[in-house]
């Protein structure tokens, strides 16, 4: 599995970057308003405020994706744990 983090949710002694509540809220937002989530999150994810066209390109890519598939992908990405056990 290729991912920027083996686990995105913080654990005892592990910093994944998000609390479980953060991830729950992100997934709820994505499920309730996918297009709105895409418009808000794409520039944040892209992180190039000086090049807003990159955020716009990512938003367009998100919006061209089937929302049901995006939800499955997001749940898998943000809820997976690929750390060694």
Splitting the chain (85 residues) into consecutive groups of 10 residues, what average pLDDT does each group show? Answer: 77 92 94 94 92 95 94 92 83
pLDDT of residue 1: 46
* 2 alpha carbon, distance to own chain's centre: 15
So what's the pLDDT on residue 3?
56
């Amino acid at each position: 599995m290729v991912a920027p983090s083996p686990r995105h949710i913080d654990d005892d002694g592990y910093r994944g970057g998000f609390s479980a509540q953060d991830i729950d809220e992100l997934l709820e937002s994505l499920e309730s308003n996918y297009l709105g989530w895409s418009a808000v999150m794409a520039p944040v994810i892209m992180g190039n405020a000086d090049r807003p066209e990159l955020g716009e390109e990512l938003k367009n890519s998100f919006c061209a994706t089937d929302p049901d598939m995006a939800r499955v992908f997001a749940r898998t990405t943000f809820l997976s744990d690929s750390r060694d056990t």
